[in-house]
Amino acid sequence: MSCIIGSCLSSAREPWLARLAGPSFTLALLVSSYSYSAEPVFTVSDPAIADALSPSALPYSFYTFEPDDYWAEPVDSWWISFSNWVIHQERIHGPRVQTFGAWADRTLSGSTHALPNNESFLRLGFAAESEYSNLAQFKPELRFRLDVPTTQEKLRLVIESESDELIPLGERERDRRLTEPNRTDTETTGALRLLSQVGDAINLSTDIGGRLRLPPEVFVRTTARKGWQLDETWALNVQQRLFYYHTRGWGARSWVGANRPLNHGWHFYTSSELEWVHSDRKFELAQIFSVNKRLNNRSTVTPRLAALGESQPSWRSTSYFVDMTWRYRLYEDWLYAEMIPALEFPREESFKDQASVILRIEMYFSGTINRY
């Protein structure tokens, strides 16, 4: 700064430069003051909510129609009327299911507040199975769960429409390929669930309850879970369950699963499960390999390859099957469609191929539920 001022003053001695000394001095002061005291000012304006949520701002993959059809008027048809009725039912009954869970939470805990995000749901659907020489016939399906996280955070009330321990292992692995008439009826169960931990990593849950029937059947089950991240790609999960039913006796189940991401958006899964059925005095086992990919924000595809076996009368395979589940989100996050083509080779049919296709539409009446 002093160099600039001195230079301007010395130059003022020259006659032809005297007229420039004053403006130069003033300019130097302004530049110096701005460089030390002024700061740049940036104006950031957030886009309007209407612009951020407009159809033109959403990615093309969100829609199943052309951009030119964004503002097209719907064509009246029976499908439009039916779909509007379905949407109206979800908006009425979805909050009711969630509100009922919150009411039960407050009632059982004695608190005026309910914890958020309970896992209560009502799942209603229609499924049709088509096999060789057997045409598809749609059958209704109904499943539900009342999961109440009381204010005593480690104690929950769980009421379910079915119990996994009473369903054969092979049927559980093929559950999505079965319609309601072909599933084992386990009756509704209710239990108090105590959540705890063993050490810092093993999650433990213990259920004490019964099958809601006359006369009721008391049961106890304990489940331990543990997960590891083996490296940057592989993850390992282990689950061990012990259970006892008053009329069925006791049993045990061991499950080990691993998964890792693959290229191009695919994800690989493998699981091995071994179950001891004490009433039958035998082991049942299942080995499943599958991959999964989200095709877009509406649909996923999951091919599977599986082998089932048992230990009686000797260790042997009972069935092999391959299937592929294509799941499509029809509307928002509660209305879905599924198509599951499958090819099975059961021992009871001398391992001859048995082809089938399942078509299903499901509605979830709930406020919060993990649907994937």
Q: What is the pLDDT of residues 147-166, one digit of tens each?
A: 766 545 678 888 888 888 88
Q: Is residue 68 part of a domain?
A: no
Regarding whether 346 and 277 lie in a shared domain, the answer is: yes
Q: Quick check: helix, strand or coil at residue 93?
A: helix
Regarding whether 234 and 99 lie in a shared domain, the answer is: yes
Rounded Cα–Cα distance for residues 319 and 174 (Å) = 11
pLDDT value for 8: 43
Whether the predicted pLDDT of 196 surpasses 70 = yes
Mean local confidence (pLDDT), 248-262: 94
pLDDT value for 22: 53
Q: Is residue 235 part of a domain?
A: yes
Regarding whether 96 and 20 lie in a shared domain, the answer is: no
Question: Do 348 and 125 meet the contact criterion of CB atoms below 8 Å apart?
Answer: no
Regarding whether 11 and 86 lie in a shared domain, the answer is: no
Q: Is residue 55 part of a domain?
A: no
Rounded Cα–Cα distance for residues 118 and 110 (Å) = 17
Question: Do 167 and 178 meet the contact criterion of CB atoms below 8 Å apart?
Answer: no
- Amino acid sitting at position 282: K
Question: Do 171 and 183 meet the contact criterion of CB atoms below 8 Å apart?
Answer: yes
- The mean-pLDDT minimum among 80-84, 148-152, 253-257, 291-295 falls in 148-152
Q: What percent of the chain has pLDDT over 70?
A: 68
**Residue 138 corresponds to which tokens in the numbers above?**
């749609």
Regarding whether 183 and 40 lie in a shared domain, the answer is: no
Regarding whether 359 and 259 lie in a shared domain, the answer is: yes
Regarding whether 123 and 32 lie in a shared domain, the answer is: no
Q: Is residue 251 part of a domain?
A: yes
pLDDT value for 36: 46
Question: Do 323 and 302 meet the contact criterion of CB atoms below 8 Å apart?
Answer: no
Q: Quick check: helix, strand or coil at residue 209?
A: strand
Q: What is the pLDDT of residues 321-360, one digit of tens each?
A: 999 999 998 887 778 899 999 999 999 999 999 999 999 9
Rounded Cα–Cα distance for residues 326 and 299 (Å) = 7
pLDDT value for 119: 61
Rounded Cα–Cα distance for residues 251 and 220 (Å) = 11
DSSP 201: T
Regarding whether 275 and 130 lie in a shared domain, the answer is: yes
Regarding whether 302 and 345 lie in a shared domain, the answer is: yes
CATH number at residue 280: 2.40.160.40
Regarding whether 39 and 179 lie in a shared domain, the answer is: no
Whether the predicted pLDDT of 5 surpasses 60 = no
Number of domains present in the structure of the chain: 2
Rounded Cα–Cα distance for residues 245 and 278 (Å) = 11
DSSP 179: -
Q: Is residue 186 part of a domain?
A: yes
Q: Which helix (H) or strand (E) holds 226?
A: strand 217-229
Q: Is residue 324 part of a domain?
A: yes
Regarding whether 24 and 132 lie in a shared domain, the answer is: no
Q: Quick check: helix, strand or coil at residue 151?
A: coil
Q: Is residue 52 part of a domain?
A: no
Regarding whether 112 and 22 lie in a shared domain, the answer is: no
Q: What is the pLDDT of residues 52-110, one digit of tens each?
A: 767 667 665 566 666 666 677 766 666 667 677 777 776 776 666 666 666 665 555 55
Q: Is residue 137 part of a domain?
A: yes
Rounded Cα–Cα distance for residues 274 and 251 (Å) = 11
Please list, in sequence order, all residues whose beta carbon lies within 8 angstroms of the beta carbon of residue 155, skipping any fewer than 6 positions away.
192, 193, 194, 195
* Beta strand pairing call for 189-198 and 155-160: antiparallel
Minimal CA–CA distance to 196: which of 240, 156, 237, 162?
156
What domain range includes position 30? 2-44
